[in-house]
Amino acid sequence: MANVLGIFEKVGFPEYGMDAVVAKIDTGAYTGALHCTNIQEESVEGGKVLHFTPFDTPELVKTADNFLVKYVKSSNGKREKRYLIETIILIQDEEFPIILSLADRSEMKWPVLIGRRFLRTNNLLVDVRKMDK
């Protein structure tokens, strides 16, 4: 039996010490997005690393050496360069690996967007009547 999510879910990010973040479940989006600022790629000996600040929390600067760069079509229809990272998300007391693009979502209502690729991969269903926030 699949877990059933509402269109909004409280989620956590254990690697960032964040819990009870409201995420929008968006079956129209292919990938998910995480609100980050100060996203910077740096060349270092042996490769590149990515620095970012999840949820615009200055004391929470993170570094990733395992990331992808993709061009995605944003909600405004424009192609944007995005960095994708893998992290752990906690939904309904269950941990899942998730790949999220990093984007400044300060103009958006929800700091986290969860797309259909993640839902399909983890056998999750969405009930639009369920709206717990």
Per-residue pLDDT for the chain (133 aa), expressed as one digit of tens each? 568 999 999 999 999 999 999 999 999 999 999 999 999 999 999 899 999 999 999 889 999 999 999 998 776 788 889 999 999 999 999 999 999 999 999 999 999 999 999 999 999 999 988 866 5
Residue type, 1: M
Q: How many domains does the chain have?
A: 1
Pairwise CA distance, residues 38 & 10, whole Å = 25
End-to-end Cα spacing for the chain: 23
CB 42 within 8 A of CB 128: no
Strands 47-54, 112-114: pairing kind = unpaired
Q: Which two tokens stand for residue 59?
A: 């004391």
Q: Determine, yes or no, domain membership for 24.
A: yes
CA distances from 107 to 25, 53, 80, 110, 123 (A): 18, 16, 16, 9, 30
Residue among 9, 90, 103 at smallest CA distance from 54:
103
132 lies in some domain: no
Q: What is the per-residue pLDDT for 132?
A: 61
Q: What is the pTM of this model?
A: 0.89
> Exposure string (b/e) for 53-79, b if CB count within 10 Å is 16 or more?
bbbeeeeeebebeebeeeebeeeeeee
Boundaries of domain holding 54 = 3-124
Considering the domain boundaries, does residue 131 fall inside one? no
The pLDDT, as a whole number, for residue 39 is: 96
Unique residue bearing structure tokens 């979502």: 105
H or E element in which residue 55 lies: none
Predicted local confidence at residue 76, as pLDDT: 75
CATH number, domain with residue 10: 2.40.70.10
What count of residues does the chain have?
A: 133
